[in-house]
A and B are shown apart, each in its own frame.
Chain A
Amino acid sequence: MAIKRLFIANRGEIALRIVRAAQTLDIETVVAVSDADRDSAAARQADRAVVLGPAQAAKSYLDPRLVVHAAKASGCDGLHPGYGFLSERAILPTLCAANGIAFVGPEPDVIDGLGDKIQARAMARAAGVPLVPGCDEVKTAADARREGDRIGYPVLLKAAAGGGGRGMVIANNGDEAEAGFHRASAEAVAAFGDGTLFMERFVPEARHVEVQLMGDGKGGVVHFGERDCSVQRRYQKLIEEAPCAAMPDHLRQQLHQSACALAASVNYRNAGTCEFLFDVKRQEFYFIEVNARIQVEHPVSEMIAGFDLVQEQLRIAGGAGLSVTQDQVKLSGHAIECRINAEDTARDFMPSPGRITRWSPPAGEGIRLDSHMSEGAMIPPYYDSMIGKLIVHAETREAAIDRLDAALADFTVEGIATTIGLHREIINHADFRANRIHTRWLEQVLLAERKGAAA
């Protein structure tokens, strides 16, 4: 049964994005808000807003019982969780099912399975998806050398028993693997009472590449190409592109096939992303994890595919099959997205909440802005600091960068600090233009250069 009235259990730009997608499909909308978001753009755009609780997310957006009760009591027959908050908590689809509400996402057991790192790796292995070469049990120095030789250097050695970076050693050759074993193993004994180590290949300069998937829940899966999200700071993505221009076609096909095989093996339903580490030097990719939800960076895939992923999510959750076959998905051109955050990059990215006194966004051919902001809007201090996503599309990567630079230059925001200036620095950096970046490039190169220049 197609969804008639949708509950949107999220805030910010994605809540507005979902409201608009639903309205295009003639679905009524009820948006959940906290006390701080009563006057949000999504609340104004939706047919109705329901105030769940106070500003603190734990007492509003993060309480699955309040969310599902509000959905049910407001007569909704569908619920979209957005990203973040409760989007990957199995309790939400479980409560939805118990209350006759269609959840826009995978089944609870699929969320749980994919959310567990060990289970997810096992599922990936079973589906034939490449994992980072490694060894779970290294018991002696001789083991360390033998496994290191087999895996290929550099390798990372760490305690099998504990988490975190404790006793972590990177070895570049057999001698270092043996010496590293003695050091890391002694630390592991001291910390966990067990000297067994875990070893895996260390990729010093990796790219983050991910495949956009859509499944019908019956084994049917299509992909919408891949994204390259290698510009990151502290594991947070800042810029995403589609496609990954650094990946050769034959590898790209294998990447897509791997992601689709994994999703099909669990009868994946709805939008999802399969994330990989891409070792450019070795020309190999390894599975990281699956994000069982729509992602922040989905617009770059929409731009190259000319396809609305959120609308497709809503149709599938309403019981429809996939509206396109793989052959019908045509990818063209290059798209880049910048996450614009209310942060002060000169002060270690300190959040900069407050009132926007001037908001003058760029517009034009190939420019898209997903934002809930406007002049006079208030950025509450309780949530993440993203104020919008600027996305451009053009024929080539180079043309897209030029278009993005012009759009960023044309983007005026006053009253708060933003990352717009940093984005211009990034995309005009010689390394970014030449596509020589990796996941630690922003911190190790650009931000380090910035610090050097400031000193």
Chain B
Amino acid sequence: MIRIDDKALAAITNARALLDTMLAGGWNEVCVQGEEGDYFLARHPGTPNPLTAPPAAAVSPAAAASPPVQAPAARAVTAPHVGTVVWLAPVGTAVGEGAAVARLAVLDETVEVAAPAGGTVTGHGVKVGDLAEFKTELVTLQG
């Protein structure tokens, strides 16, 4: 369920205005970076596309030495697409970032769902054998 509130309507209006400006002003490229995705558009010849630029240089040792302070938080790991749950990491399992916390079957293929960050599995949102839909919570990770 998507709720379109005033904020979202304002965003749509802004996006329309932006597109209108682009069309009127001969723009063909603009750079937009947001949570949902990155878009690069700029007026020719424009700036280099940051989305295809080589990755930034490795973090310097000095910066790496001070780890970010993070409060342990619960985080839901959700299904990236529809699929039948065939395995869930047991509650209490400690996983590192990128480790599998669930497996979904799509026809005869099995797809791993990875932990977006390290933590401990504290709960299951589904059971093995369930059909998980897109965005269904599979497991809860703590910390």
Contacts and interface: CB of A to CB of B under 8 A. Distances in A.
A66 B4 CA distance: 27
B140 interface: no
Interface in A6-46: 34-36, 38-39
B131 A66 contact: no
Contacts of A68: 107
Q: How large is the interface on A (under 10, 10 to 19, 20 to 34, 35 or more residues)?
A: 20 to 34
B59 interface: no
Contacts of A35: 2, 134-135
Interface in A64-87: 65-66, 68-70, 72-74
B84 A355 contact: no
A59 B111 CA distance: 15
A59 B80 CA distance: 10
Contacts of B57: none
Contacts of A50: 82, 131, 133
A388 interface: no
A108 interface: no
Interface string B1-24: 110100001001000000000000
Q: How large is the interface on B (under 10, 10 to 19, 20 to 34, 35 or more residues)?
A: 10 to 19
Contacts of B2: 35-36, 38-39, 378
A273 to B, nearest CB: 31
Contact of B133 (A51, A63, A354): A51
Contacts of A378: 2, 4
Contacts of A72: 107
Contact of A69 (B9, B12, B106, B134): B106
B135 A69 contact: no
B4 A52 contact: no
Contact of A99 (B12, B107, B135): B107
B1 A38 contact: yes
A53 interface: yes
A70 B131 contact: yes
A160 to B, nearest CB: 35
Nearest to A378: B4
B82 A53 contact: yes
Contact of B81 (A36, A66, A95, A355): A66
B109 interface: yes
Contacts of B4: 355, 378
A221 B2 CA distance: 45
A36 B82 CA distance: 15
B107 A95 contact: yes
A54 interface: yes
A247 B131 CA distance: 53
A353 interface: yes
Contacts of A354: 9, 12
A75 to B, nearest CB: 10
B119 interface: no
Interface string A343-386: 00000000001110000000000000000000000100000000
B107 A69 contact: yes
A70 B82 contact: yes
A66 B82 contact: yes
Contacts of B133: 50-52
Interface of B: 1-2, 4, 9, 12, 80-84, 105-107, 109, 131, 133-135
